[in-house]
Amino acid sequence: MKKRLLVFLTLTLALASSFFVLPSSVHAGALVSQGIVLTCNSLSGPITFTANRDTTGTGAETFNEIVSDGYGVLFQNSPNTLAIGASSSYGPATAIFNFRANPITYTLVSYAGNGQPQQILFTLSFNCASLPTVAQPCTVAEGAYQGRLTSAVKLYWDKADSKAVTPDTFIPAGKVVSIVDNATPGWVKIQWACGIYYIKAGFLAPNTDKYAKPYLPTR
């Protein structure tokens, strides 16, 4: 009798596992619909997506909508964490941006985490006839955010005075850079003109005019 009961339980568990999938085995967020349009100076919606994989370990999925140009400048960078089953939408609306180089790119990404790989749910690129085209488009470093230089800064290949770019190369005050990492005391890792460099800390402020009005709505 015990042997028959064991066989019955084994078959029951096997059948159950064929009908139920744990969140960690789901491999894509759900893009419900999209009508993204890029122009030489704008982004328009709508786009809707639904969280359906646990990338946080807390029953939620982290997305980001990224808009960048060929120089790697971030015009939109808005991570958003949604509970599994929840949806988020942008638009219909139009945001105005000062793009400077092709290609202009919109990307909806679901970040890696909790044993899940990063997933690109949707991406769209546009080339404006009046803008220059970067031969090898910049890839914006994951997790980067923007800062504005309060003073001219010297570029370094690594976190040491002996690692200065030669000949000496400076970024003028007022320029906007993408901040990749600022965890090392005295140094900030940045992305500038498609390259990764280090600068001395203490010369960055928030980029308060990152967006041209109207602002891209937050959710």
Which of these, 125, 141, 138, lies nearest to 64 by C-alpha position?
141
Sorting pLDDT into bands at 50, 70 and 90, what band is 16?
very low
Using the Cα atoms of residue 66, residue 68, residue 74 and residue 76 in order, give the sign of their dihedral.
negative
Q: Which residues lie closer than 8 Å to 151 by C-beta, 6 or more apart?
A: 173, 203
Q: Which residues lie closer than 8 Å to 22 by C-beta, 6 or more apart?
A: none
pLDDT of residue 152: 92
Q: In this model, does residue 212 exceed pLDDT 90?
A: no
Sorting pLDDT into bands at 50, 70 and 90, what band is 17?
very low
pLDDT of residue 142: 64
pLDDT (average), residues 127-156: 80
Exposed, middle or buried, 138 (CB in 10 Å: 0-12/13-18/19+)?
Answer: buried
Alpha helices in the chain (DSSP H): 2-19
Q: How close are the terminal C-alpha atoms of the chain, in Å?
A: 59
Name the phi and psi angles at 80, rounded to 5: -145, 125
Based on C-alpha coordinates, what's the Rg of the chain? 22
Percent of all residues in the chain with a pLDDT value above 90, rounded to a whole number: 23
| pLDDT tens digits for range 147-168 | 889 999 998 988 999 988 877 8
Ranking 99-108, 143-152, 153-162, 210-219 by mean pLDDT, the lowest is: 210-219
Sorting pLDDT into bands at 50, 70 and 90, what band is 26?
very low
**Secondary structure E strands in 51-158:** 60-68, 74-83, 87-90, 94-96, 104-110, 119-126, 145-149, 153-154
Whether pTM exceeds 0.85:
no
pLDDT of residue 34: 84
pLDDT (average), residues 180-188: 88
Q: In this model, does residue 209 exceed pLDDT 60?
A: no
pLDDT of residue 76: 83
DSSP-based three-state secondary structure for 23: helix
pLDDT of residue 136: 56
pLDDT (average), residues 62-91: 84
